[in-house]
Amino acid sequence: MSPASNTPERYYNYAYLDEQTKRMIRRAILKALAIPGYQAPFGSREMPVPYGWGTGGIQLTAAIIGPDDVYKCIDQGADDTTNAVSIRRFFAQVADVAVTEDTAEATIIQTRHRIPEQPLKAGQVLVFQVPQPEPLRGLEPRETETRAMHAYEEYGLQYVSLYESVATYGRIASTVGYPTMVDERYLMSPSPIPKFDNPKLDDNEAILLFGAGREKRIYAVPPHTRVRSLDFEDYPFETQTWEEDCALCGARDSYLDEVVLDDAGERMFVCSDSHFCAERRAQGHVGRMADHQLAATPEKEPAQ
Amino acid sequence: MAYVAVKGGEAAISNAHRWLAEDRRGDPAVPELGADQVREQLSLAVDRVMSEGSCYDRDLAALAVKQARGDLPEAIFLMRAYRTTLPRFGYAQPVETAAMAVRRRISAAFKDIPGGQVLGPTFDYTHRLLDFRLAADGMVPDAAVEAEEPQTYPMATIASVFDHEGLLESDVPSADTGEPFDLTREPMSFPAGRDQRLQALARGDEGFLLSLAYSSQRGWGNTHPLCAEIRLGEVAVAFVPDELGFAIEIGELTLTECHMISTGAAGMETAPQFARGYGLTFGHCERKAMSMAIVDRALRDAEEVEVAAPCQDQEFVLYHSDNVEASGFVQHLKLPHYVDFQADLQLIRRLRREWFDREAALKEAAE
């Protein structure tokens, strides 16, 4: 008996959820794939992690994972953030699955707030953890109203909101969870990814699944689907750019996190995608602070 | 460097959990609390955990209270996460609270009612003075004096008192005889039927419902409630197994039931009568049952009048009453958000730069 089989998690079914629940979730996934961008309600279960901590993404993963899968889990783009470590450990225990930090090697990538920098390939599934699936919720608190607005494709309110932003700030001031239009039919929240990642949603080769456990909704973007970020002709959609480049690997085209170095305003910028950055360093790319402790090889998890 | 602390590996997590276990145990010189002691001596905590955890098992609820270090919403979460993995055999027969073996039954509507007022084990009319004798060990309280005459059985319900005159709306079984709505299997849908509403309220957070009920009393959607009856006691649970085809008794539940009647005037289409709000909990959760009954009545208002107060608003009440959902989502703010924050930082810096440029240009123009 391997040590893993004696942990409390192993008293449960393969991948934690019972088979009937998995089937119910798979049906919702199929429905969501058939109507890209549509929020399919599903009988979300109580999970052993709190709502808001990835219960939707975990249920999606649990419904589609099998022993042959290779699982990667990131939070804020990084494999070593605490909640990503915790969720990855969960599936390593309940699903006997191989885990990886390598984006290309993974068959299922569960993510919170980022899309990996390395383009995804056909056959991969990207599972998003979604806190609020309703893109219109900030404008209209009632679910009965927003469902009707989607049904009638009544998205004027969203454009008015963007216009108000332009009128107030001189630009569309939305930075994360920037609203998208899927296949010119459904307005969709991309989850709180930075708008930097929005272009990666468009015409992606991989299957993109979005799970909101607390709000009990699943939605999806099938491969090669048009996903357009809303904008105006005179105020076109634009993504974040940095004047700095990554202090560790020198990347100029990745999403950067800001690291405060001291209390005198000294700071450095590093890739948010930890695997992307490590791989570049392995290839010999060097940033201006390449010897910083953040570049140290992260502590490896004990072998399963 | 503080920033690095948000990136933590396996070792950090398991060390934190070991520390948690150590804190839970407290001073090892003090004897460890047994789950049986929690079950017997913190029984109202156990009752609340069973009620809002939607799972009737005193031993598991006691274990959850112990494991959660007395944090009841955390214990409720543990119960829910366990419950959700249980197989389902079907629905029990509706329990008959009229046939309850009553330990406590009071009515505020009449001075005396058939069966009488039975106070039972209650905090009511205690003086809230700390009893320092409890801090000393080993005190076994004297047994309460037994009544000379046994209680009438079954104890008449408040509904039966009103029956003759038709003053109180009667319990009309819903026309739809299908399976009741089950929130643990289906997402919330609106407009919510009464089965869905009552289930959500039964699972809902006691504090949230208490405050909603209180807001209603203070005029935010007042239903003019009067406590027609509260009863506490044991009821039998019957189940019809497919292979038998007839009902067998499979156990007993302790329940608290509350009927609130609305003293406000009813509509004119039917003969005027009192309307009801209903509250039901596992165990002895009287504050919760009363709050639930008031909120149930307030939500029924929305079927007839325009929603004017939070307690009448289905979406507001039902979407926000669950403390497992609420606690998780509020506390998820502890998770790292630095990717989002970086995006906000960028925007604010850019807007500030533009603002200062504009100010400088204005100043220059003025000079």
Q: Each residue of B130-162: pLDDT tens digit?
A: 988 888 876 788 888 888 888 888 998 888 888
Q: pLDDT at position A303, please? A: 41
Which ranges of B90-205 does DSSP label H, i.e. alpha helix? 158-163, 194-203
Task: Characterise B55 by phi-psi region: left (phi > 0), alpha (psi -120 to 50), beta (else).
Answer: beta
| Mean pLDDT value of segment B327-344 | 93
Which pLDDT value is given to residue A8? 61
Write the pLDDT tens digit of every residue in B17-43.
999 999 999 999 999 999 999 999 999
How many Cβ contacts (< 8 angstroms) between chains A and B? 148
Query: If contacts are CB pairs under 8 Å, which of residues 292-321 in chain B contact chain A?
Result: 315, 319
| Chain A residues lying within 8 Å of B189, measured CB to CB | 41
**Tokens in use for B255?**
């329940």
Pick from B1, B84, B342: which is nearest to A45 by CB? B84
Position of tokens 């039972």?
B120
Q: How confident is the model at residue B169 (pLDDT cuts 50, 70, 90)?
A: confident
Whether residue A85 has pLDDT greater than 60: yes
Q: Tell which B residues from 117 to 176 touch A, by Cβ distance under 8 Å.
A: none
Give the distance from residue B339's alpha carbon to the nearest chain A alpha carbon, in angstroms: 6
Looking at residue A294, its pLDDT comes to 82
Does the global pTM surpass 0.95? no
Residues of A in contact with B75 (CB under 8 A): none
Check residue A281 and give its pLDDT.
96
Say how far apart CA B211 and CA B51 lie, in whole Å: 18
Burial of B42 (0-12, 13-18, 19+ CB in 10 A): middle
Residue B329: the pLDDT is 96
| For residue B4, pLDDT beyond 80 | no
The answer to whether the CB atoms of B6 and A81 lie below 8 A apart is yes
Residues of A with catalytic roles: 37, 246, 249, 271, 277
What 3-state DSSP class applies to A73?
A: strand
What tokens appear for A102 in the block?
A: 């390598």
Q: Which of A46, A141, A173 sits opposite B81 (nearest CB)?
A: A46
| pLDDT at site B2 | 29
Which of B6, B11, B77 shows the shortest C-beta gap to A299? B11
**Does residue B326 surpass a pLDDT of 50?**
yes
pLDDT in tens, B53-107: 999 999 999 999 999 999 999 999 999 999 998 888 888 999 999 999 999 999 9
**H-state helical runs in chain B:** 10-25, 35-41, 43-52, 58-67, 72-83, 158-163, 194-203, 206-217, 286-301, 314-320, 323-331, 338-366
Residue range B211-215: mean pLDDT, rounded: 97
Q: Is the peptide bond before B154 cis (omega within 30 degrees of 0)?
A: yes
Q: How confident is the model at residue B178 (pLDDT cuts 50, 70, 90)?
A: confident
Q: Domains of chain B: which residue ranges?
A: 10-83, 97-122+148-171+185-327, 337-367
| CA–CA–CA angle B296, B301, B305 (5° rounding) | 160
Its ipTM equals 0.86
Strand order in the sheet with A186-188: A186-188, A180-182, A227-229
Q: Is B336 on the interface with A (CB under 8 A)?
A: yes
In this structure, are strands A108-112 and A125-129 parallel, antiparallel, or unpaired? parallel
Query: Which positions ≥6 away from B146 have C-beta within 8 Å?
Result: none
